[in-house]
Chains A and B, each alone.
Chain A
């Protein structure tokens, strides 16, 4: 117990927070850049955001966690295809959210680190005078902290997708799940 006690050190701004903040700042800089606002720059802007997001999100870890027990039963090819599709869906969802950015304040409310895992709590103050709590869950990969889950007001993205995927998988098949996932991504 003594050993374990040492692991959760509450600190205000450690490495995980710094890295989440760096990515957030970078994305907000792109989103608010007037030079990238015009219609013909949309593609360039999206690519820049995508790049920043990709560097911070661990799509494979997210995929593994959302498929949970079903993950082990998949072949490497199936896993790869799944990561690719699911990553695209998450990326799109995330990009649409940040695309709506209109000057909300982002406050870093604290972090908890346990060995190679960390949680970074963020408060987003909306312009309508409400605050939304967001938690990033991260896992350390060598020197980088990578996001594998985001919770908004206690609703974890991974849990939400896991419930959906499981509901499809227990009734139908992995193939059917992939078809549905593909159709969703193809909505563009």
Chain B
């Protein structure tokens, strides 16, 4: 599901390039309304339907006499996936406009650039570039492992950073993974909030930035300060180019994923929203 990251990165980059010449950065943390009690009628309905379904399933198993033990048994894990997501989307009309915009942004700008880049730069090198940027963002992952009290994961990130920055030539090679099977620990502030029980709030589909929620937006804003790239003692423009390279590079490695999602979906907007919310829920659970 790396699909979100390139979109996100690409969109950020585009925004930054647009704004880079002297313009003040538009802060993404615009004031939000209270996120509670914002459930749209549709979501409430979905919830009701779901409860109704759960009830009707119970009655349907009743006729089987030898099932008393199973009736009281917890729902098998396999059945527990049947959760209707309750993250409200009252901004849907606006979100859909931005979805349309982001879709065009991908097909008209990001994809052509990434396709050209892919044709010129061989895959192993693109993987090196990805590793390099990924190594740079270690502080985000390490800090959030720590925030969640995941000390083993924190140790893994630390070890990975040490090994990859030195033997892995400034992070271009992921030696830690290849040689000692130390996997990247994908943690961020949004997940940390989720870990402590903070809900999504509302779903937001940002222009350029793509799928997010109130919680994850605030999280990304916090993580921003942990990303060394953002502390480059240089012009905004150069910084934007670096972020751009990262975005284009990542996109070049995931071309076709967004297309597959769209092709399989009856309503790509809802499909992407749901995929994002499920993906995040799973990340937090882990």
The chain A residues found within 8 Å of chain B, CB to CB, are: 3-4, 7-8, 65, 68-69, 72, 89, 93, 96-97, 100, 112, 114-115, 117-119, 128-132, 137-139, 149, 151-156, 158-168, 170-171, 177, 180-181, 184, 187
Contacts and interface: CB of A to CB of B under 8 A. Distances in A.
Given A155-B1, A170-B42, A160 B77 contact: no
Contact of B73 (A4, A165, A170): A4
A168 B78 contact: no
A79 to B, nearest CB: 16
Contacts of B188: none
B85 interface: yes
B85 to A, nearest CB: 6
Nearest to B273: A163
Interface in B69-89: 69-70, 73-74, 76-79, 81-85
Contacts of B45: 170
Given A93-B263, A129-B178, A170-B45, A156 B278 contact: yes
B253 interface: yes
Contacts of A8: 77
Contact of B278 (A130, A138, A155, A166): A155
Interface string B184-207: 000000000000000000000000
Interface size class of B (residues with CB under 8 A): 35 or more
A153 B73 contact: no
Contacts, number: 120
B264 A159 contact: no
A3 to B, nearest CB: 5
Contacts of B278: 154-156, 159-160
B78 A117 contact: yes
Most chain B C-beta atoms within 10 Å of own C-beta, residue among A4, A69, A158, A165: A69
Given A129-B127, A149-B81, A154-B283, A168 B267 contact: yes
Contacts of B70: 115
Interface in B1-52: 1-2, 42, 45-46, 49-50, 52
Nearest to A165: B266
B143 to A, nearest CB: 23
The binding surface of chain B is classed by DSSP as helix
B274 A159 contact: yes
B127 A128 contact: yes
Contact of B253 (A128, A152, A164): A128
Most chain B C-beta atoms within 10 Å of own C-beta, residue among A128, A155, A170: A155
B270 interface: yes
B260 interface: yes
B200 to A, nearest CB: 14
Nearest to A131: B183
Contacts of B79: 117
Most chain A C-beta atoms within 10 Å of own C-beta, residue among B85, B177, B266, B273: B266
B279 interface: yes
B1 A153 contact: yes
Contact of B174 (A129, A166, A187): A129
Contacts of A166: 46, 49, 84
B152 interface: no
Most chain B C-beta atoms within 10 Å of own C-beta, residue among A4, A100, A149: A4
B82 A68 contact: yes
A108 B5 CA distance: 27
B77 A117 contact: yes
A145 B271 CA distance: 28
A170 B282 contact: no
A5 B192 CA distance: 32
A96 B282 CA distance: 25
Contact of A162 (B52, B74, B84, B177): B84
